[in-house]
Structures are given as structure tokens and as C-alpha cells.
Chains A and B, each alone.
Chain A
Amino acid sequence: MRTLLVIAWLLLSLPAFAHKPSDSYLSLTIQNDRIEGQWDIALRDLDDAIGLDRDGNGQLTWGEVRDAHAEISAYALSRLVLSAGTQVCTTQALEQLIDHHTDGAYSVLRFQAHCIEPIGRLGVEYQLLFDIDAQHKGLLRLTQGGQTNTAIFSLESPTQEFSRAERSRWAESMQFIHEGIWHIWLGFDHVLFLLALLLPAVMVRVDGRWQAAGDFSSVYWNVVSIVTAFTVAHSLTLSLAALDVVRLPSRLVESTIAASVIFAAVGNLYPAMMNRRWMIAFGFGLIHGFGFASVLADLGLPHDSLLLSLVSFNVGVEVGQLAIVSAFLPFAYLIRRSWSYPRLVLTGGSLAVIAIALVWFTERVFDLELFSL
């Protein structure tokens, strides 16, 4: 009893507590009648709930966690009820990975939920861990139609309902245009592919040597043919993928995109094989479209305005692309006659593009992380 007395006193000053109690991170992306979910749950919490430390040595190894995957997904998914309208959606576990948050290692459970009807109002009932930890919280990130909401589940509020905030069609389509622009600017691979194709556009081959192109109109039409071919092709596949008509594995898509960048740049060094650039732009543009589609999927397409969002996103991509072209073209046109253009810009630039794309290609084909900084 006397010892207890002092302990009670010392509990007051808590300089020595870790920063936060238990949290899980749940992210849901609504796609029509489907929900893509990712749920990060602390290994320490899972150990308290279902016991992961099989050998009791106080250390959780990947082997122990992997052996418990079936139990983890059964435990977690039985404590999450998603519903659309009055119908409960069926959840299905996909893969399980590992991630690290500020308070330790987490099991990452990816899952999919299918609902009977398209999701207008989503009901979420969250019951993870409250029975063993009353201060546990579930931090939700809900994405739908390019819009992200956050919410916190706690013992006091385990059930919440979400309906997409009423937004005008205009605001929604601006949102998707914005996302489209950002994607082409931040997705260096698309930019590099386009630039690699455009680098020689201000030049012509005469007797196996580069010469500056004469008038602006021939340069202009050359560029227009390349950009249009690229646009038509990627719009086509973007639509097919977004409407779920065709699906390709993302690793294949990403690797081929990297290969297309290499191909386009190598073509500048060996121009003999590159007579019709617009055909290359079209052919590989088909693959780039699938790349755009995966971004669009991450944004969560709203079911009631699927077509509008798709078109808006595509418009955004084109606007971003035009901005790049109109920044590049006048500059290239002006300096095309200089000594440095064929040597430094065309050859040097193509070499640099090849170098970068080779790294991407290796990373994507072999699923490596060469730049884990």
C-alpha cells in the first residue's frame, strides 16, 4: 500500500510517456459500387488483441505476422461494417503489408468492399479494439470524387455516416481539371516522353545530318501531329480503363511507360528509324493512358458524374500538356540554329532522358527501390 501511494504521486508528471495512445489509420476510396480500403493497425495492438508473439520472446517477426494474416484480416474486418443506404457491403481482404508510423510497425491490410448499389451515403461502423483499449481511435481518410474527408472514430462515436458534400458540377469538374494538370506536371515520365519526341521537332534531317528547320509552320504542324496523336491515344485508353472495360496490371503499364521514354530518346540518337514520330506518340500514348487511369482511380470516381469527371480530368491533362509544349516550343525554335542545339539540347538532353528512364525501367521491372533515401 505504501509503495502504491508513491506511484500514484509520480504518475502526475508524465514527461516519460510516448506521444500517443493507440490509433489505426483507415483509408477508404469510393468507386461507384466498390470501396478500396487500406487499414494500418499497430502490431502491438494486434498482439494485445489476438496474440502475435507465438514464441513469447517479446519480439514480433515478419514470420509471426505473416502466419497470422488470416486471423488479422478476420479480426479486423469483423470489426468494420460498411453500408450503402440500408445494404451492408461485403468486404474481402486482399494483400497484407508492413508500414511504419511514428509509434512503431503497423500491419497494412488492403481490402475491397462490394456494395449492392452505387454508394451515395456511406455508413461506417468502427468497432476495432474499443473493447480492450478505451482510448483507441480510428483515423479515417475518405476519398470520393477527388474530394477527401477525414473523421475520427472513438468509443464515444463508433458509427458515422458520410454523404458527399453537395458541390456544384462546375466545382467538381474544376477539381478534376486541377488534378489532371497536376498529374501531368508531377508525372515526370509523361513529360519526359513528350519532350523526347518534341526535341527534334525544330530540326530536319538532310543527308544524315541535323539541320535547323526553316519555317515555323512546318515545325508547328509537326508538333501538332505528335501532340494530337498522343492525346487521342491516351484519351482512348484512359476512358476504357476508367469505365472498367480494359484492365492491365500496373507493373506492366508502368514498366512499358518507362520503356517508351527510353525508346523515344534513343530514337533521337538514331533518327533513321524515326520517320513518323506521330505513330510512336500514338502507339505509346495508348499505354500512357492506362497510367493516367490508375491516378484517376486513386481519386475515386463519383458514380453520379462519372463521365464529367473523366472528361474534366482529361481536359486537365491536355491543359498541362499544352502548357509544357508552349513553354518548350518557342524556346527551341529560337535557338534551333545555334551550334549547341543539336549537340547539347538534342543529343545531351536525349542521353539524360535515357539515363533517367533506364533507372525507372529497372525499378519497375524488377520491383526495386533504387532511391530509398
Chain B
Amino acid sequence: MMIPSRSLIAFMVLGWSIMSEVPPAYPEPYRPTDDVQVLERLSFKTTDPAAREIESLRADLRNNPRHLETAVKLATRYIERGRSEGDPRLLGQAQAILTPWWNEPTPPPPTLFLRATIRQNAHEFEQALTDLDQVLAVQPTNAQAWLTKASILQVQARYDEARRACQRLARLAASHVLLGCLSDIGGLTGQSTKSQELLRTALSNPGLSGRERIWLTTILAETAARTGAVREAEQSFSEAFKVGIKDQYLLSAYADYLLDQRRYQDVISLLRSETRADGLFLRLAIAEQALELPAFQNHTAELAARFAAGRQRETIVHVREEARFTLALLHDAGRALPLAQANWNVQREPADARILLECALIEGNRAAAQPVLDWLSINHVEDFRLRQLAQQIQETTF
């Protein structure tokens, strides 16, 4: 009556082959078996000097939670750290530190400035501008506030106002800050040659800090790339990397440049370990798709899960990335187009214009592209890829 053991094994194999057709069970919580199994990597070791500084500030604040100076210092550290780690949690933690002042009718200017920074990260641009104007009403010489205001206005494509905010920096900050601020706008809006000259002049100053050098060279590289000057762009990017400080904005700008040059293998070498930040992870997956690497499938699923998780909490910030993901990896222009349109209503940088034009072109929807076409012509935008796309849209929809 016993089934022989060999047949038993054969049955099990048969069972496996049948069951592997059944979709996998939903992942369940589990109990790890190994004590030394690493479950999570934190961004800081407690022995790092930066972590120690934060720890001592935290201790001070615990003793005296309403001490403005300590709170501002700690919140600033959190925001900086959040930026370099790409972890939005730290912005929420900065906000929590500012709680005693956050809801006051007129918070002190340093808290107002940090509130503006946090709000602008949540893409609450109008509220951030209101905060900045409040700061500037009290402190008209606050260079930092002027610079932040200029960048928000630039993101909103309010270039004249942005330029005026930059000009306020003339007597308040070092000349290269003014140059950087102005030539970033000028490089996009019809003055790329002059802007690149000004940036080179600013960069000849040997006294620049590393971060400032990265900032200026990245603007230079992006401006050059938009005009099709591949060699200049490449050279500026490599100068920025030579500074040796990891900068997430630089990484994403360079990855986009490489993707445009179809240098997918280089994108993968650049971003292989950058799976935490969505924007970089997305660019990695796009390169993997182009090279038909097997990792692409998993990474696409992971990205889809991340966008779903973001939507679940009902605060939507990464619409640009989601539109690009939907178009480039899911190949669903129909669904990507409304995302790109919603994104264009909030931010209007070349990357935002690009994704909207790409979607509209595939969908053959001239009306959807119209706001970007207007933006291109009113502002004399210099970007040969955007010009090409606009041309194609005009040809195909007539």
C-alpha cells in the first residue's frame, strides 16, 4: 500500500511544476531565522562626526525645545542631510523640530525661511513664495531668501520676476552667486552664449567652494547640452565630478545627458547602486530597458509599487517622474499624458516640457502640447530637442 519513495519524489516534482503555474502568494510577514541578518541600512553611523553634531543638537533641544537658535540649526542640518541622502523623512523631521513656531501667525524669519524650503520641497510653491515674501519684508537683505525665491519663480517659468529676484543679490552676495542665478535663467531663455561666458568667468574664481563649483559647472553643462554642444557639456560634467562631492542633482542631470547620447552602459555604471532615490532609479531602469537587461523587469515592478505607495498616502510630489515612468517604461502614453499635464501645471522646467511634448506627440494631441509650444516661443527657449519635438508635433497634427 505504501507509495515507493522514488514515485513520491516524482510526485513532488510534478506538484511543483503544476504549482509554479499558480501566481505567487502575496508576500507575507516573516520571522527571520538569523540574528546577524541585516534588515535595514541607515544613512548614518552614530560614529560619523555629522551624526554626532546632530545628536548633540538634539540633546540640547530636548532640554529646551523652544530654543529658536538650536531648532533652526538642527532643522537646517536635517534638510541638508535629507538632500544629500535623498530621504524625504528628514524634511518631516525638520518640520517637527519647528512645530513650536510653525503655526504662529508671524513666525520668526529663520523659521519662515525653513518653512518655505520644506513647502517648496512638497511642491507647495505659492505658499513657499508667501513665506519668502514675509521673510523679505522683515529682512530685505536676506540673500538666501532672494535666491530661493528666484529659483521657485524659475521653476514656475516666471522668468522676469525670477531675474528681478536674482538682481537683488548684486550687493548681498558674492558675484558668482548673482552670475549663477542669472545665467541659469539666461541659458534657457535665449542667451545661452552669453550665459556660458559668464559662467566660465565665475568658475575662474579659485576661491569657490566645492558645492558652488558643482552648482555652476552643472548649469554650464546643462546649458551646453541643450544647445547640442556635446563636447562642452561632457567636459563641464566631468569637471563637476572632479570636485569629488556626491551630488544627486548632478547625477540625474548627467544620467539624462548620457541617456540622450544613448550611452546606456555608462548610465548603468553611474547609477548601479542608486536604487533608493526614485529619480535615479528610474533612469537606471530606462537604461536597462534599452540594453534589454533582465533586471529591467524587476526594477519596473518595483517602481510601479513605489508610485502606488506614494499615491496611497495622498501627497503627490513625483508626478514628473511618474509621467516619465509611465511613458518610458510602461509605454502607456494615454495614461502618461494627463500626468504630464498635471505636472506642467505645477513645474515648468525643460524636463517637464519634454515629457509633455513626448506624450502629446505619441497621442497626436496638439491641444495638450499647446501650453508648452507657447512657453517655447514666448520665452525663446533654447533647447534643440524641445524644438525638434515641437516641430514634429506641428508637422504631424496638421
**B-contacting residues of A (Cβ < 8 Å)?**
1-23, 38, 40, 43-45, 47-48, 53, 56-63, 65-66, 95, 97-105, 108, 130-137, 139, 152, 188, 266, 270, 351-352, 354-359, 362, 370-373
Contacts and interface: CB of A to CB of B under 8 A. Distances in A.
Interface in B20-51: 20, 22, 24-25, 27-32, 34-47
B91 A100 contact: no
Interface stretch (B10-18, B234-242, B261-269, B374-382): B10-18
Contact of B32 (A11, A38, A98, A356): A98
Interface stretch (B288-296, B312-320, B334-342): B312-320
Contact of B45 (A4, A19, A58, A103): A58
Contacts of A63: 35-36
Contacts of A58: 41-46
B101 interface: no
Contacts of A66: 35
Interface string B285-316: 00000000000000000100111111011110
Interface residues of B, number: 96
A34 to B, nearest CB: 20
A104 to B, nearest CB: 5
A18 B87 contact: yes
B92 A97 contact: no
Interface string B96-136: 10010010000000000000010011100000000000000
Nearest to A109: B29
B321 interface: yes
- Ordered nearest first, which 10 A-B pairs have the shortest CB separation? A16-B248, A135-B92, A15-B279, A56-B46, A63-B35, A355-B15, A134-B95, A373-B24, A97-B29, A58-B45
Interface of B: 1, 3, 8, 11-16, 18-20, 22, 24-25, 27-32, 34-47, 76, 79-80, 82-83, 86-89, 91-93, 95-96, 99, 102, 117, 120-122, 143-144, 147-148, 151-152, 155, 173-174, 177, 180-181, 209, 211-212, 215, 247-249, 251-252, 276-280, 302, 305-310, 312-315, 317-318, 321, 349
B309 A103 contact: yes
Nearest to A363: B19
A56 B174 contact: no
Contacts of A45: 89
Chain B CB within 10 Å, residue with most, of A61, A134, A139: A134
A135 B40 contact: no
Contacts of A38: 29
A65 B39 contact: yes
Looking at A101, A266, A371, the one whose CB has the most chain B CB atoms below 10 A away is A371
A139 B311 CA distance: 11
